[in-house]
Amino acid sequence: MTENAPATQFDAQAGTKPAIEVCDVQHHFGMGDARKQVLFDNRLTVRPGEIVIMTGQSGSGKTTLLTLIGTLRRVQQGKLFVLGQPLHDSTTLEINRLRRRLGFIFQAHNLFSSLTALQNVRMALELQPNRSPRRTENQRCQEMLEAVGLGERIHYKPGSLSGGQKQRVAVARGLVHQPDILLADEPTAALDEESGRQVVTLFQQQARERGTAIVIVTHDNRILDVADRIVKMDFGHIARDTRVSEAAKIGEMLSRCDIFSGVTIRTMTQLADRMKVEKHAKGTRIIQQGAPGETFYLIRDGQLQVRRDPGNQPVATIGPGDFFGETALLTGEPRNAHVDALTDAVVYTLDAKSFQQAMSERATLDQEVRSTLFAN
């Protein structure tokens, strides 16, 4: 069975119930001649405990998608499930109940100017159905403000706070009620490096300890290291959805393949992006001897056996990190062996064109090295 997603989207936790599921969502603003479509057939799945960073140029649709997930706009076309609730088919009452389980951090802060930092943060607790005693809530709010470095500013009103301090109040308010989903629009834009790191560390703790699904819209390259996934939007489309650990795993595996020696890291990254993923059940024949060679294979999980005719004789057993299928691509000859799945297996695949481009770069680099050595 072939997955529809690139290899860098492979989800080892695919059986886990999603916290967010975006299915073919479209959105537009205006009517008639003024109508402008800003989202086109977007699909996205975010699981509990994941931190997803959304990047892209201004106007690419990041914030619009975030506000749809956050119930701040109604779904026009497509389906959108948040914590199992179908937002495309929900009443206002159902949506209001769901909002209590979400945390928001707005780029514009959206603080109440007449309230202190502590009172602004407590607003998130006052919306919850099961309230704690006021003293307990105040203690929780103070601890949250201390965690973002504002322990000495808890009784200050927004007018007496800097832009970065207001942002940290907004962060504390978004986290204080321990939401199941946290949605953050440029949460570190107004923060220096130390404060920004403090904030994203809190995000990581929330994700790891409570299983909170976190979606961050940002242009801040300093915080990319906390992402489990990086989603790039381009002109209303999700142009790339990369699971960072999977991309790193593919890159590491490719770097150990001697056939790619001499290929640059940049090209390795491009190859990882172009690779697809296939799942094969035990007993499946992945390659048929004599068939044309159109694909390169890299084993992620499972054990495979190489066999040759006549007699379908076993030749070798291969496993994670091993590759196959390159001979036919290099020679243009048909496949010289069968490859069968001894166990359930997952393999990454690369099309012939991308493989040949990588081989061409390797040959060019080899020639350049030889020429340089000869000249010196």
Segments making up each domain of the chain, as ranges:
7-242, 256-375
Average pLDDT over residues 249-260: 89
* pLDDT value at residue 264: 82
CATH number of 256-375: 2.60.120.10
Instruction: Give tens-digit pLDDT for 31-59.
Output: 888 999 999 999 999 999 999 999 999 89
* pLDDT value at residue 375: 56
Query: Is residue 280 over pLDDT 90?
Result: yes
Q: What angle do CA 89, 74, 92 make, to 5 degrees?
A: 60
Q: Is 350 helix (H, G, I), strand (E, B) or coil?
A: strand
How many Å apart are CA 70 and CA 57, to the nearest integer? 21
**Token pair of 191 as six digits:** 């923060």
* pLDDT value at residue 87: 95
* pLDDT value at residue 368: 46
Nearest to 184 by CA among 162, 151, 207: 207
How many Å apart are CA 253 and CA 298, to the nearest integer? 8
* pLDDT value at residue 363: 57
CATH fold label, 7-242: Rossmann fold (3.40.50)
Query: Is residue 190 over pLDDT 90?
Result: no
Residue 55 CA: distances (Å) to CA of 81, 161, 190, 304:
22, 28, 17, 39
Query: Is residue 365 over pLDDT 60?
Result: no
Instruction: Give tens-digit pLDDT for 128-154.
Output: 888 889 999 999 999 999 999 999 999
pTM for this predicted structure: 0.86
E-strand spans in 102-236?
Answer: 102-105, 181-185, 213-217, 229-234
> What percentage of the chain exceeds 90 in pLDDT?
76
* pLDDT value at residue 128: 87
> What percentage of the chain exceeds 70 in pLDDT?
95
256-375 and 7-242 share a CATH fold? no
Query: Is residue 25 over pLDDT 90?
Result: yes
Average pLDDT over residues 264-287: 90
On average, the pLDDT of the chain sits at 91
